[in-house]
Structure formats: structure tokens, C-alpha cells
Structure 1
Amino acid sequence: MCGITGWVSYRRNLTHEQAIVDAMTQTMSCRGPDAAGTWSEPNVALGHRRLAVIDLPGGAQPMRVSTPDGDVVMVYSGEAYNFTELRNELNDQEFFSDSDTEVVLRGYLRWGPAVADRLNGMYAFAIWDGRTQELVMIRDRMGIKPFYFYPTPDGVLFGSEPKAIFANPLAKRVIDVDGFRELFGFIKTPGHATWQGMREVEPGTIVTVSKDGIKTRTYWRLEAKPHRDSVEDTVLHVRELLDDIVRRQLVADVPRCVLLSGGLDSSAITTIAANQLDEPVRSFSVDFVGQTENFQPDELRATPDTPYVHDVADYVHTDHTDIVLNHSELSDPELRRKVITARDIPVGLGDMDASLYLLFKAIRGKSTVALSGESADEIFGGYRQFHDPVIQQTDFFPWLMLARTMHHESSLTPELEKALDLRTFLTDSYSSAVAEVDRVDGEDEFTHRMRVMSYLHLTRFVRILLDRKDRMSMAVGLEVRVPFCDHRLVEYVYNAPWSMKTYDGREKSLLRGAAKDVLPQSVVERVKSPYPSTQDPLYLADIERQANALPADHPVFSLIDRKALPGGHRYTLERTLSLATWLDIYQPEVVF
């Protein structure tokens, strides 16, 4: 796992711009603390920061192969879990390393951009093809690894994160109405990067930059296909896939661990991993001071995590560590700065971002690679909104419908709220997303509606969480792998009908059926509980005090109505503090 960046310019000599290329590369140091490298020729410059995970001495980048017609050079972030099989296919080539990076590069030499079709993994990489004077940028199917680009008059800037692009004077920090809609709408529009003029390489796409401009081609998308397996065969196949996926994702030349929440998803990954390893699995979980003892059920969380975490840890004898956080750690303004800097945008998830950062930081002291249960709810239908009869029949983003039933007072200034017109934006975005969904012949209306709901979560929601996971982990140099995002599993379960995903009358039936033989009964029976949030009233008091202490002339109050702060909802306070911190750090030009 690494950080990549680069610059293509067809009108200037980039060998004279080394200081800028170095600055772009340096912004990625947290993503790659182990090594740094740059490479340039007149029309292109590439930068790389490395987190060494496989072939520690041999995977240095940028990685170059010379051909009679020109050099082919790559910067790569991520992991190709099937690199061993691909290397065997390429056995007529002479390899100089044991890294998956070189396998991908030599795969490109053999198959061109179609190498993407053969990859199983999480990846974002850019290849400068000196034979054609083109840059080829490729991102994994699910969007696990972030990848941004910024077109310029004579080429492009790119990077794993916006901060790498902003280190180049050609990129301007501007956020307009479209960017704010993306922030406050809480959906992830494919290709949208929040910042004006910046784009994402969309998941499952190939972006090619040449003297003729920028072209995009989709190599993978979710497609509706008939599902012909029985329930029993489907459960069996899900388990077979999980066994294979976990086995592949445990491969590393550095210490590994699992993230364990005590829920069905992470517990399944933990116990399957435990059955495959010869040594005890190292596991970590997050908790808050006094939370387990004083837990109060709320609208989302019926039970605390820790008792279930310990059930799993005891059941398979993991080497377990609880990371227990207090209110002052979570509300620390310096931690908030680190979180906002890591994310580049003020998402406003407050203690849930802060605790994830601190959890990952603690893990990084003992492990370099972690396996996570992220994305299982989107794939198997675990969230509460999947099972709400009203939401099932409502033509709107399901997670936003659920949020409206719980709380949602407006805290934006009237001027910003009018300019954004979020209702129209979200309605249009919903219609656009639904139009992408294929229909299987003979699919009844309810089954199709549930397919649509699944599609929305997999293309407009889970990418928010994947980006959060990536940014918080890479900010401390930790590689987090997500077995449930293996595209084979996603494709297979996406096409299983809803009746099969709920065959036992509960959420995530297919996953429960596939993993129940390796889980303690308490976890098999546990009701879905989201990522934890502190219930400590001292945390709320801290952030309320900090928000109310903001100067009256702070630019955040051109966005947030100051009258909403006294006695305001916790979410409003966290959003205000995130926005204020972001404005202080990035000092963007705000246009609305």
C-alpha cells in the first residue's frame, strides 16, 4: 500500500520541475513511510511513497521496464491478491523482483490496459507508456483505493489524495455549490471529487491521457444476471469464496491482524482467518471508557460491542487487544486537525472518525496489515433501512430516509441552503443512479426494488466508508484490506434475490449461513450494530464548549447558522467544528 502522484505536461520540460514533483510526493509520506522515489523525463514526472508489505527489498518504485520503443514506468498503490497466478502466466518474462507491483507492470506489457480485467485486488496505479507517450490510470472495481486527477491545459496532475495535487501551483483550492452539495448530501457521486476542477478516476475505469486529451473507459460495472443456484448451494459458494478471499488477503511479509467488532462481519473474517493460520490471529477492537458498563441502547445500537468481541476472541483464541479511548482524546482539537488533514474534506463524523484514527494508530504499533469486515452490510443487506417496509417503497436514497426518521434539523445558513437546493440535487442524483440498474428478465417488482437498493448502497454509499477507512488507516501507515469487496463475491451476492438474502427471516442470511459453523452462538444471534460511537456526556460537553468558543467572525459562519449551536444536536456541533478546522487548514476559495 502506497501513495502515488504525477504530472503530465506536453508543453513543458518537467525535468526542470523537480522541486514541485518532490513536494507532491512528500504529501504522501504518511501513506508510504518506508521509502520514496521519483522519475521524470520531459513530458512526465512520477512520484511514489512506499509502505513495504510484499517483497520488502525488491518492490521499489517508480518501477521501470525498458523496451526498444521506450520506457514503461509505473507507480502503484494497493495489492493484487492473485499476483502469483498472474506471474505464472507471465513465466516467459524475466522478473527482477518478487513483488506484485512488477507482476502488474509486466501484465501491462503483455495485455495493455486489459491487465485490469485480470486483477483481483485493491489498486490505483498509473503507467507512463513511453512507446505511445500516454499515461494510463486504472482504479480497482469497488473504489477501495482512492485516485484523483486534475486536468490542466496541456496534460494532467494526479495523486492518491487531493493534497498531492494541491502541492502543484497549477491546482487551485476552490469549492463551489457542486462540492458543497456532495459534502452535505452524504452521497458519493461517481467521479466527483468535491474540489472544483478535480475528478476521481471512477471505480472500474481506465483513464488515458494523451496529446489528444483525456479518455475514459469502463472495464467493470455491476450487472444484473440470473441467479440459478439454490439457497443451499448459494450459502456453500459464499463460504467457498470467503475461504479463498481470506486466504489470499492474509498474504504479507509483515505482521497481520484483524479488526474485530463482535458483529457478524468482522467475526466471520476473524474466525475464518484463525482456521487458516498456524499461529494465533492478532485482533483489535475499539471501546470507550465506561461504555460497556453504562451502555444505553439507542435507535441504531441495541448492544455494546465488547462482550461479543471477547466471545469471539475466546472462541478462537486470538491474541486480542482492546483499544479503550476517553472523551478528552476524542474531542482533542489537534486530533481533529489530523483527521481533517487525512480526509481532505470535512465530512463531520466527529468521534467516529477520531476513534477510527486512534484505533488504527494503536494497531500500527504492532501490525502493518489489517483485515476488516467493511462493506458486508452493503453486499448482504445488513442495514436497518434494507428491512424497513416504508423505506423499501420510497424513491429516495435509503440511508438518508433512515436519517430523516431519526434527526435532521438544518444548521446551514439560509443563503447556503437556498444555493444548494439539496432536495432537487438528491432527487436528480437518485434518478440518475436508478437509471443505471439493469433488470433481469422476469424479475418481480419487489425483487427489483431491492436490487436497486443494493445498487445504491454499493455505488453511492459504501464508497464514502471505503474512503474513510483508507484515509484514516493510511494516515498512520496501516494497510487495511477489505475481503468483502472482492469483486467475485460482490457480483455473486448482488445477483442473489432478496428472498434468498433473508431466507432465515433476518438480515445478512447468506453470510450468517455461510459462517455460522465457525462462530460462537452469541454472534450468530446478535442483531446488527453499526460502528460504535461514544455515549460519554463529557464528550458532548467538550465539543459544545469548543463550538461555542469559535469567534463570531470565523468564516465557518458563512456556512453554518450560528444560532443553531446553543443546545444544538451533536451532529451539528461536530459538523461545525469539522468545517471550521477544514477552513483553517485548507483556506479554500468558497464560491456559492
Structure 2
Amino acid sequence: MCGIAGWVDHSGLGPDARAVAEKINDEQTHRGPDGSGVWLADHAVLAHRRLSVLDIEHGAQPMLLHDPATNEARLALSYNGELYNYRELRAELASRGHRFRTTGDTEVVLAAWAEWGAGAVERFNGIFAFAVWDEPAQTLWLVRDHLGVKPLHYHHDGGRLIFGSEAKSILAHPEVRTEIDADGLRQLVLPLLKFPGANPYRGIAEVLPGQVLEFSRRGVRTTRYWDIATLVSRPAEPDDLAGAVARLRELLHDTVTRQTIADVPLGTFLSGGLDSSAVTAIAGGLPDRRGVSSFSVDFSDAAGSPDSRSAQDRRFAREAADHIGSRHTNVVLDATRLADSAVRDATVRARDLPNGFGDLDMSLLLLCQEARRHVTVALSGEAADEILGGYLWFHEPTAVAADTFPWMADGPAHGYLHQRVLSTIDPDLRQRLRLDEYLADEYATALGRLDLDPALDPAERRHRETVYLAVSYFLTMLLDRNDRLSMANGLEVRVPFCDHRIVEHVVTLSRHVHNAGGREKGVLRDAVADQLPPGVLNRKKSPYPTSPDPEYSRRLVEHLTRVLHDPPAGLRDIFAAPLLDPARITEAARSHGLVSNFEGEVILNFASWLRQYSPQLTD
């Protein structure tokens, strides 16, 4: 995994191009601590930060493909990702006359592009975001993987296009201003959604999952090579539970096997839930991964509650690790470390935005930090709930019937979190932004992308809609969170359930198959039934844990008090006045609900962001 950046300017790069390229490249040093490179042509510059995972001694980037007749650079590649089928592609390309100097996947991507052009991406299995510059054609291509696991941002202003793995690299370009307009504010104050292709910073967009963007003198053109809406709209598969289980089991084993290929230490995240335990069990059962390293997050608990979510996770993670035989590390975070303002600043900086959920994000950042001391690559169980209907809001009646994104319904399925979000926003700002209307329009637009069979049973139709919404608007938020907080520590996280073959298999299965045996994700439980202990196999979905320690809440109040006595510019324009009254912050920071301390956390996140980025807010 790496960081990529650069730009194309058809009027010429200018004399300071290398210095600017090095500046924006350095903004992503955390993504690639093992090396850096910059390549310039007359109208294009590509930059790269490298985290070495395959072919550690070679594979420096940007990587060039030369014209054999003239020895001039024909193609230049800056690549972030892992191609899990690169060995098969390498063999096929070698049979077509390509010769390779390295043993990693980067050169395979470059050769595949030379052989098949943009059509190469339809042959790729992996997680990736890359830029290809075609010097003879004077054309740049930006490409993102099927599910959008790896980020890719761009800024287009006429004859110039600037790109980067993270927004911070684009914002470091002298021609880009750090501005947030009305649309950006709407995205910021609706943190439970990640709007496809959008970014809160004015003028910055994201390449969509499964998209190829082409930039030439004719302008920008985009095409989709893979689209979840198209998949969800396919005719339903006949109910064949045995066949669905067998195929899912086959795909999971093949996917995890591919994703454990690395020339560096590899482990897994193991919470004790079904998804992470399944991934760890499969990885730990591979001949060369016996005793795989696994990691879980835990919290000190001054109250000593045996029923807290973290305590439950601790028990189930240990049960799974003992059964699987993994070398398990339980990363225990105390209130002092978790509440450190420097950790919050690092979390906000990693995400480039205040969007997030306080200690849930900070604990993941610290978990990745600790895991990185032992491994360079970690496998995660992310995405199983979205593609298989594992969340409560797939089933809870209020959420299912709601005429909005189900996890934002006014009900208990997601802890009334959306309502808590809205309660923090200044009423005048909420009215000016017309948030309710904006959200309703986005929801209608989302469902309008589907072309479902009108003969579908209503319950089945709603299930399909929810799968689509979960993958397109909820999973993308979680994948971005995972990538940013892991790569901030130079840790590569791989997500087997995001293998596009698995997604293609399961999203057209009926809800009855998804919920086989009357259990959420029943088809997955059946697929791994012989690999997990009964307690873990039958465990109900549990949310990501939050700190149960009252000391954390006390320290949060202290931090809020300091911030609100001298708030950064813009904070009082965003939040409701009562929440910014230091005399009432104890109530705002109280521990309750799905995300503890949420009201206090969101204020502190915004304060950190406003102080670090000094954005111009123009609603």
C-alpha cells in the first residue's frame, strides 16, 4: 500500500513543478514510509510514497514503460494497492511477449495496461487506486477498485487536473484553496453518509468505486467498469441454500488465501465477532500461516462492568483465538491515552475531516499503531454486514419501513444516532442548509439508480434496496475510515469480504438465504460452521466497542471546557448554542447510547479540524 499524487496541466507544469510535487508527496509520507519518487514530463508529474509489501528490494515508483524503438517513456504509473491475481496475469502477459524485471504486482499492472488499455481493469482482482499517464496520447487515467477500498481524490479546473490518495495532498498544491461551501457543510454535518463521488472540500471530488476517469485535452470523461446498482438490480437467484453456502465457502477460502500473500509480517483483526473470526480461522488454517497473529482492541474499565461491549468482545476474541490457535494480542487502552488531545488531532488529521465518532476512531488508530509494531499487513472482517444484511437496521421494523436511509431512521436500530447528530447543529444553520430536504433528495436519487424487478415481493425489494444503500453509502464511509486510520500508521488493511466475486455472489441471494436458520448472516454461519467455536459462531451482531470507563468521560469534559473557553473560529457557527455553554458540557458529554459521549466528541473533532485546517466556510 502506498500514496499517490500528481497533476496534469496541458499548458505546462511551470519551473517549480518538482518542488511542488515533492511538497504534495510529503503530505502522504505516512502512507509510504519506505520510499518516495517523482517523475516529470512536459505536461504531467506523478509522485509516489511506497509501503513495501511485495518485492521489497525492487518495484520503486513511479514505474515507467519505455518504447523499445525509441527508448522514450511511453507509460508512467503511480500505483497504490494489491493485485491478488497478479501471478496469473503475469503468466498470461509473459505468454504474450512481456518481460518482467520485478516480482511484484506493480509491473504487472503496467504491462496489463500496455496490453489491454483501460480494459485491463476488468481482469483485476484486488484493491487499488492508480494513475497512468500515456505520454504519446497526452492522457491521464485514474482508476479505483470495485468497492472503493483505496481512496482517490482529484481537483479539476479546466486544463489542469490534480490528484492524490488523500485530500491533504491536493490541498497542499498552491493553486487549491481550503474552502467548504454549502454542499460541503451538508456532508460534514451528516457524518453517517459518504456521498458517492463527493468530498466536502470545494472543488475536490473522488473517483467512484469501479470507475475509470480519463483526462485529456478534450476534458474529463468517466466510465464505470463495475457498479453495485447494476448487480443489485439483477434477477434474484433461486433459493438454493446448500449451493450458496458451498460457493461462499469456496470464495472465502480462495480470497483469504490470495490476500495472505505478502513478503512482510501479516496478521488479522479479531474482535470475536463472526466476520473477523471467520477471516482469522481461514487464514490460520493455511499451511504457511499456522499461528497467525491476531489483534483486538480493549479498554480499561474503572467500573469493572462484565457486561460492557468491550468485556464481551474480550471474552469472545479469546475464545476464537484459542480455538483457531492464533498468537493473540489484546490491545488495552486506558482513559489517559484514549483522551489525549494529540491522539484526537492525529485522528482528525488522518481523515482530513472532523467526520468520525470520537473514541471509536481514536481506538482504531491506536489499535493500528500497536498492530504495526508486529505486522505490516492485517486482514479485517469489514463489509460482511453490508453485503449480507447483518445490521439491526436490516431487520428492525421502524428502520425497514422508514422512507430514508435505514440507519438514519428515527428508531432504535442505530441508537437514534442521526437524531443526536441533528440535535448538535445550530438551528439556523440547519434551516439554511435545508438538511431534511437535502437528505430526502439524496435518498430518492440513490433509489433511482436501481432497476429492480417490479414483481419482487415488497419485503425482498426492501432488502435489496437496503443492501444497495448499505454498500454505496455506509460501507464506503467505513472503508474510508479503515484506510485512513490504518495508513496513518503505515499499516495495510485488506478486506476479504470486499472481493468483488464474493459481492457478486451474495448480493442477489434472497433475504431468506442471507438469514438462513432465522439468524442474520445465516449463510455465512453455515459456510464457516466447522471452523469456529459454538459461542462465536452463534454470537449476535455486536457494535464496535466504545470505552466504558467513566474516567474517559471525565477527561472529555475537561478537554471540552478548555476548548469552549477559547473556541476556534467557525465553531459557534456550526453547533447549537446550548452545547457550547461550558456550564452544560457535562450533560453533553455524558455516556449513553450506541456511541458514548457523542455530542462532546463531535464538538472536539470539529474544534481540532478547524484549528488544523483553518478552512474558509462559505455556506
TM-score (norm: length of structure 1) = 0.97
Task: Return the offset for 1:548.
Answer: 2.2
Deviation, 1:213, is: 0.8
**Contact (CA 8 Å) 1:4, 1:75: kept in 2 or not?**
yes
SS of structure 1 residue aligned to 2:558: helix
Match of 1:113 in 2: 118
1:554 to 541, 545, 568: 568
In the other structure, the counterpart of 1:371 is 379
1:144 pairs with 2:164: no
Hey, what's the Cα distance between the residues in 2 that align with 1:55 and 1:348? 35
Report how far residue 291 of structure 1 moved: 7.6
Q: Is 1:160 matched with 2:173? A: no
Report the counterpart of residue 594 of structure 2 in structure 1. Answer: none
Deviation of the 1:277 alpha carbon:
3.3
- Counterparts of 1:367-406 in structure 2, within 5 Å, are 367-401=375-409, 402-403=413-414, 405=416
Please tell me whether the aligned partners of residues 15 and 45 of structure 1 are also in contact (alpha carbons under 8 angstroms). no
Q: Kindly indicate whether the alpha-carbon contact (under 8 Å) linking 1:155 and 1:210 is maintained by their aligned counterparts in 2.
A: no
Letter in 2 for 1:212: R
2:278 matched residue in structure 1: 268
CA contact (8 A) 1:303 1:529 kept: no
Q: Does 1:579 align with 2:585?
A: no
Letter paired with 1:430 = Y
* Offset, 1:293: 4.3
Do structure 1's residue 204 and structure 2's residue 219 form an aligned pair? no
2:85 alignment counterpart: 82
Deviation of 1:440 after TM superposition, in Å, equals: 3.7
Alignment of 1:280 onto 2:318: no
Counterpart contact for 1:59–1:101, Cα < 8 Å: yes
Please show how residues 343-382 of structure 1 align to structure 2 within 5 Å. Answer: 343-382=351-390
Unmatched tracts of structure 2, length 5 or more = 590-596
Supply the distance in 2 between the matched residues of 1:535 and 1:184 (Cα, whole angstroms). 26
The CA deviation string for residues 505-548 of structure 1, in whole angstroms up to 9 with x for no partner, is 11111111101110001101211101111111111111122112
* Structure 1 residues 76 and 349: CA distance shift in structure 2, 3 A: same
Q: Are 2:344 and 1:313 aligned?
A: no
Q: Which stretch of structure 1 is more off in the superposition, 431-440 or 471-480?
A: 431-440
Write the letter of the residue equivalent to 1:161. Answer: E
Give the CA deviation at 1:202: 0.6
Q: What is the match of residue 140 of structure 2?
A: 135
The CA deviation string for residues 7-65 of structure 1, in whole angstroms up to 9 with x for no partner, is 11011234642110100111111000000000001101110000000011121100000
Q: Residues 352 and 532 of structure 1 are in contact (CA less than 8 Å); yes or no, is this contact kept in structure 2? A: yes
Distance 2:15 2:267 in 1: 42
Alignment of 1:516-527 (within 5 A): 516-527=529-540
Q: Distance in 1 between matches of 2:282 and 2:352?
A: 35
- Sort the Cα spacing of 1:170 and 1:234 in 2 relative to 1 into closer, same or farther, 3 A: same
Q: 1:184 to 1:17 in 2, by over 3 A?
A: same
Deviation at 1:497, TM superposition (A): 0.8
Residue 5 of structure 1: aligned partner: 5
Deviations 1:168-218 (A, max 9, x none): 111110011111211222211111011111100010000011111111111
Q: Residue type of the partner of 2:27?
A: T
CA deviations 1:237-257 (Å, max 9, x no partner) are 100000000000000000000
Provide the rounded CA distance (Å) in 2 between the counterparts of 1:360 and 1:437: 37
CA distance in 1, matches of 2:493, 2:298: 19
Query: Closer, same or farther in 2 for the Cα pair 1:363/1:404, shift >3 Å?
Result: closer
Q: Is the 8 A contact 1:155 1:213 kept in 2?
A: no
> Which residue in the other structure is 1:53 paired with?
53
- Corresponding residue for residue 215 of structure 1: 221
Alpha-carbon distance change, 292 to 461 in structure 1, aligned in 2, over 3 angstroms = farther
- 1:327 aligned residue (311, 316, 335): 335
Match of 1:529 in 2: 542
* 2:470 is the alignment partner of 1:462: no
SS at match of 2:161: strand
1:145-170 CA distances to partner (integer Å, 9 max, x unpaired)? 00000012321000000111111111
Cα distance in 2 between the residues matched to 1:143 and 1:121: 11
What CA distance in whole angstroms lies between the structure 2 residues aligned with 1:201 and 1:57?
Answer: 31
| Paired residue secondary structure (1:480) | strand
When structure 1 is superposed on structure 2, of 403-412 and 479-488 the one drifting more is 403-412
Aligned residues: 589
Q: What is the aligned partner in structure 1 of residue 265 from structure 2?
A: 255
1:292/1:436 CA distance change after superposition, 3 Å: farther
Q: How does 1:445-524 map to 2 (within 5 A)?
A: 445-524=458-537
**Are the aligned partners of 1:375 and 1:485 in contact in 2 as well (CA < 8 Å)?**
yes
Q: Which moved more, 1:222-231 or 1:280-289?
A: 222-231
CA distance in 2, matches of 1:422, 1:248: 44
1:268/1:553 Cα in 2 relative to 1: closer, same or farther (>3 Å)? closer
Cα distance between partner residues in 1 of 2:26 and 2:393: 42
> Per the alignment, in what secondary structure is the counterpart of residue 212 of structure 2?
strand
> How many Å apart are 1:572 and its aligned residue?
1.2
Once the two structures are overlaid, the 10-residue window that deviates more, 118-127 or 13-22, is 13-22
Q: Which runs of 4+ in 1 moved over 6 A?
A: none
* Amino acid corresponding to residue 50 of structure 1 in structure 2: R
1:415 matched to 2:423? The reply is no
SS of aligned partner of 1:410: helix
| Structure 1: segments with no counterpart, 5+ residues | none
SS of the residue corresponding to residue 54 of structure 2 reads coil
Alignment equivalent of 1:73, drawn from 73, 76, 79:
76
Q: 1:237 to 1:441 in 2, by over 3 A?
A: farther
Distance in 2, Cα, partners of 1:302 & 1:579: 27
Which AA in structure 2 matches 1:369? V
Fraction of identical pairs, as percent:
40
Could you tell me which of 527, 544, 550 is aligned with 2:557? 544
Distance 1:256 1:292, change over 3 A: farther
2:546 counterpart SS class: coil
What CA deviation, in whole Å up to 9, does each residue of 1:270-290 have, x standing for no partner? 111111133311111110013
Q: Distance in 2 between matches of 1:553 and 1:380?
A: 43
User: Paired residue for 2:177?
Assistant: 172
